[in-house]
Amino acid sequence: MANGFIVVDEKDWEGADAEQRFWMIFKTLRSIDGRLQKLERWNKCFSFVGGLIGGFVAALGIKWVN
């Protein structure tokens, strides 16, 4: 997991049987899922902060226009 999304390399894949390949795919998908969950958590946080900043700027704009 430290080297990105790839959990195994080509050498490991070629030497594995069907069941081992299944588990390699499963581990890779779990790794990707964990990373996406972290990104989604940050996305919600940044969306909230962006909404606050946008609302504040819009309020200032309305105040200056009137």
What are the pLDDT digits (tens) for 2-56? 556 666 788 888 888 999 999 988 988 888 898 888 888 888 888 888 999 999 9
Does pLDDT of 59 surpass 80?
A: yes
Alpha-carbon gap, residue 8 to 6, rounded angstroms: 6
**Tokens describing residue 1:** 């997991």
Q: What pLDDT, on the 0 to 100 scale, is given for residue 15?
A: 87
- Whether residue 25 contacts residue 3, with contact meaning beta carbons closer than 8 Å, is answered with no
- Whether residue 48 contacts residue 28, with contact meaning beta carbons closer than 8 Å, is answered with no
